[in-house]
A and B are shown apart, each in its own frame.
Chain A
Amino acid sequence: MKVHYKVFDSLAAIEEKPNDQDIEFIIETKNEKAFNKLHEVRKFFESDKVLTDVLFYTLGDHSFQVIVRRDSYTAFVLGLFGFQLIKQIEWRE
Chain B
Amino acid sequence: MTNEAIIAIGIFLITYAFIISEKIHRTIVAMIGGILMVAFGMVDQETALHHIDFNTIGLLTGMMIIVSITAETGLFKYIAIWSAKKVKGRPLAILIVLSLITAVGSAFLDNVTTVLLMVPVTFSITRQLNISPIPFLITEILMSNIGGTATMIGDPPNIMIGSAVKELSFMDFITNLAPVVLVIIIVIMAIMAFYYRKNIHTTEEARNRMMNLNEKDEITDKPLMIKSIIVLLLTIIGFFLHQIAGIESATVALAGAFLLLLLAGEHHLENALSKVEWTTIFFFIGLFVLVSGLVETGVIKQLAANAIDLTGGNVTASAFLVLWLSAIASAFVDNIPFVATMIPLIQQMGEMGINDLNPLWWSLALGACLGGNGTLIGASANVIVAGLAGKEGYKISFIKFMAVGLPIMLITVAISMGYIYLRYL
Residues in A lying within 8 Å of B, measured CB to CB:
46, 49-52, 55, 57-60, 65, 67
Quick check: B213 and A58 within 8 Å, CB to CB? yes
Shortest CB-to-CB span from A51 to chain B, Å, is 5
Residues in B lying within 8 Å of A, measured CB to CB:
119-120, 123-124, 127-128, 209, 212-215, 217-218, 388, 391-393
User: When chains A and B are docked, how far (Å) is the Cα of A20 from the Cα of B357?
Assistant: 59
Quick check: A57 and B392 within 8 Å, CB to CB? no
Quick check: B217 and A55 within 8 Å, CB to CB? no
Quick check: A51 and B213 within 8 Å, CB to CB? no
Residue numbers in A under 8 Å from B127 (CB-CB): 52, 55, 67
Contact of A52 among B123, B215, B218 (CB under 8 A): B123
**With A57-B128, A65-B209: A51-B120 Cβ-Cβ less than 8 Å:** yes
Residue numbers in B under 8 Å from A49 (CB-CB): 391
Interface residues of B: mostly helix, strand, loop or mixed? helix
Chain A's closest residue to B209 (CB) is A65
A-B contact pairs, 30 of them (CB 8 A): A46-B120, A49-B391, A50-B391, A51-B119, A51-B120, A51-B123, A51-B388, A51-B391, A52-B123, A52-B127, A52-B392, A52-B393, A55-B123, A55-B124, A55-B127, A55-B128, A57-B124, A57-B128, A57-B209, A57-B213, A58-B214, A58-B217, A58-B218, A59-B213, A59-B214, A60-B214, A60-B217, A65-B209, A67-B127, A67-B128
Residue numbers in A under 8 Å from B391 (CB-CB): 49-51
Shortest CB-to-CB span from A32 to chain B, Å, is 14
Residue numbers in A under 8 Å from B212 (CB-CB): 59-60
Shortest CB-to-CB span from B25 to chain A, Å, is 19
Residue numbers in B under 8 Å from A59 (CB-CB): 212-214
Residue numbers in B under 8 Å from A51 (CB-CB): 119-120, 123, 388, 391-392
User: When chains A and B are docked, how far (Å) is the Cα of A44 from the Cα of B393?
Assistant: 21
